[in-house]
Amino acid sequence: ILNCAAYTAVDAQEKDVDLSYRINAIGARNLAIAAQETGSKLLHVSTDYVFSGDGVRPYIEFDAPAPVSVYGKTKLAGEEFVKQFCQRSFILRTAWLYGEGKNFVKTMLALSQTHQELSVVNDQVGSPTSAEELANAIFSLLDTENYGLFHATCEGDCSWAEFASEIFRLAGKDTVVHPITSQEYQQQNPQSAKRPAYSILDNYMLRLTGGYQFADWHDAIRTYMEGLKG
């Protein structure tokens, strides 16, 4: 059983707390119980938002979570339910994900059609991760009995502004990126949920157990952009 479902409207959840817990926590609990009853493996996708973002080094799986948003709190509750109710479970925390659906890459490319200059946050850092790389890690784990908690992001890190600049470079765009602070962005585009300033996850458990080796984020975004062109 693969649980990729989640309520991810981070700001809306600050007011819609009950719905967030129903989907992100109770939903995970229900799947964990069903997996346990049927003897199935359960792989549950979680998030970097379980951490406060106050870190000074990449978070490993043994660091204590400290979510600062409703989204982060409900996703952490979902993790706890999975561990509590399903013995054959994998929990994968990922971050800054992009793939087929709506994502930062497509948003930047769309904005570049109508803007020569864009202001992008430069004091939030993380590891852009392609859905293809995450899928590779998922299917690699499912073939094992290495149950437990894993961080699962592409290697390397950058700020949102640096990520945007790389997207435009690969796309052959001359859009100028102006780095701004989160506070400046908040003044222009008010957000109710706090974002982690430091979202870098260390895939420590995957390394310890000889698991999937993620691509560097530069290589992954280049592959993704080539796919968009093709």
pLDDT the model gives residue 189? 86
pLDDT the model gives residue 85? 99
- The number of folded domains in the chain is 1
Whichever domain contains 116, its CATH number is: 3.40.50.720
The first and second tokens of residue 51, run together, are: 């951490």
The catalytic residue positions are 71
pLDDT band at 229 (very low <50, low <70, confident <90, very high): confident
Q: In this predicted model, what pLDDT tens digit does every residue of 97-126 receive, in sequence order?
A: 999 999 999 999 999 999 999 999 999 999
**Range scoring the smallest mean pLDDT among 39-48, 52-61, 209-218, 221-230:** 221-230
* pTM given for the model: 0.96
What range defines the domain where residue 25 resides? 2-229
